[in-house]
Amino acid sequence: MKFIDYYKILGLNKDAKPNDIKKAYRKLARKYHPDVNPNDKEAEKRFQEINEANEVLSDPEKRKKYDKYGKDWQHAEEFEKARSSQQSAYGQSRRKGYSQNYGAHDFSDFFESMFGGATADFSRQRTTRFRGQDFNAELKLHLRDVYTTHKQTLTVNGKNIRITVPAGIENGQTIKISGHGGPGHQGGPNGDLYITFSIINDTQFKRDGNNLYTTVNLELYKALLGGEITVNTFDGQVKLKVKPETQNGSQVKLKGKGFPVYKKNNAFGDLYITYNIVTPKNLTEKEKTLIKELAALRKNK
């Protein structure tokens, strides 16, 4: 567990006056408050640090203890024991702080170790709320998992929630599960659960929205003369006719063989196949002779 320099976090000297602390906190809080930095985990982390620093430095009792022990904080417990007989609970006249929706519920181990869980719990309750807290979760799935609509059980804050994952959901897309956030207060509604999908594509197909893309190797003679090949689509193999004189890099579209369209039953994008013509290797003498003849024919044409 590392020592945390709360003065450094707020950009203050150790002799900072309460008003300096308040000003520094307010300035940094405006910069890093999660409400003005949506989906920015780095800002959220900074805000938690700032909140924690303010929690300590703006409370005379905590600041005194922090200043006294500093880097020698691990002896703080002894300090606590010595003064326990005359101690009254912290925070009887606490100032109003920032909402526990952000930051204050995630105090560092350092904080918990020095000031204890009970104090932190008190902090969590300090702000009035109405609607419950929103929860955010990330769900990692493979591309194959989101090809079909399916149910999945998630554990969020110790509770099991069964959700429907709709086919065709996009990588990075967020869905809202209403009422599955934190409980409401004073008759207010529960918060919501936001699930962001992180979709890992370990297939041969590239995805662009509802369309899929893949490359298929095509042997030279089939490209020249045409024929039939079997290709992989996302839901199985299909036979495909190859036109004579197919060029390298040319593309064919298999309509409706792409990815499901989000929340549209039985609607699919297209599959685009790019041909990669493979020339033969290890030619025999006879093959070389015949190819030379072909080359000469082409030259004289």
Partner 1 sequence: MEQEYVLITDFCTSHDIETHFILQLYDNGLVDIVLKENSYYLPLKQLPKAEKIVRLYSELDINLEGIEVITQLLKRIEKMQAEIIYLKNKLDLYE
* The one among 6, 47, 66, 98 contacting partner 1 by CB under 8 A: 98
State the DSSP H helix or E strand holding residue 223, giving kind and residue range, or none if neither.
helix 220-225
Which is nearer to partner 1, 40 or 245 (by Cβ)? 40
| Contact criterion met (CB below 8 Å) for 199 and 141 | yes
* The one among 61, 80, 106, 134 contacting partner 1 by CB under 8 A: 134
Which is nearer to partner 1, 5 or 208 (by Cβ)? 208
Size of site (CB under 8 A) for partner 1:
32
Minimum distance, C-beta of residue 22 to partner 1, in the bound complex (Å): 11
Minimum distance, C-beta of residue 130 to partner 1, in the bound complex (Å): 4
- Interacting positions 219-248 with partner 1 (CB under 8 A): none
Minimum distance, C-beta of residue 57 to partner 1, in the bound complex (Å): 18
Question: Can you read off the two tokens belonging to residue 200?
Answer: 């890992």
Q: How many whole angstroms separate alpha carbon 207 and alpha carbon 202? A: 11
Q: Is 129 in the site for partner 1 (CB under 8 A)?
A: yes
Which window, 94-102, 109-117, 223-231, 261-269, contacts partner 1 (CB under 8 A)?
94-102
Which is nearer to partner 1, 73 or 168 (by Cβ)? 168
Integer-rounded Cα Rg, in Å, for the chain is: 32
Q: How many whole angstroms separate alpha carbon 175 and alpha carbon 195? A: 5
Q: How many whole angstroms separate alpha carbon 250 and alpha carbon 242? A: 11
The number of residues making up the chain comes to 301
Minimum distance, C-beta of residue 209 to partner 1, in the bound complex (Å): 8
- Range list of β-strands (E), the chain: 135-142, 150-156, 159-165, 174-177, 193-200, 206-208, 211-219, 227-233, 236-242, 251-254, 271-278
Q: Is 189 in the site for partner 1 (CB under 8 A)?
A: yes
What is the DSSP code (8-state) at residue 73?
G
Q: How many whole angstroms separate alpha carbon 270 and alpha carbon 255? A: 5
Tokens 């309509």 sit on residue: 255
Q: Is 23 in the site for partner 1 (CB under 8 A)?
A: no
Q: Is 183 in the site for partner 1 (CB under 8 A)?
A: no
Helix (H, G, I), strand (E, B) or coil at 199: strand
Minimum distance, C-beta of residue 25 to partner 1, in the bound complex (Å): 11
Q: How many whole angstroms separate alpha carbon 173 and alpha carbon 282? A: 49
- In order of 222, 231, 242, 245, the CA distances from 225 in angstroms are 5, 18, 9, 6
Which is nearer to partner 1, 128 or 217 (by Cβ)? 128
Which window, 62-70, 116-124, 202-210, 243-251, contacts partner 1 (CB under 8 A)?
202-210
Minimum distance, C-beta of residue 245 to partner 1, in the bound complex (Å): 28
* The one among 11, 18, 39, 253 contacting partner 1 by CB under 8 A: 39
Instruction: Summarize as ranges the residues that interact with partner 1 (CB under 8 A).
Output: 26, 29-30, 33, 35-36, 38-39, 98-99, 101, 128-131, 134, 170-173, 185-189, 192, 201, 206-209, 213
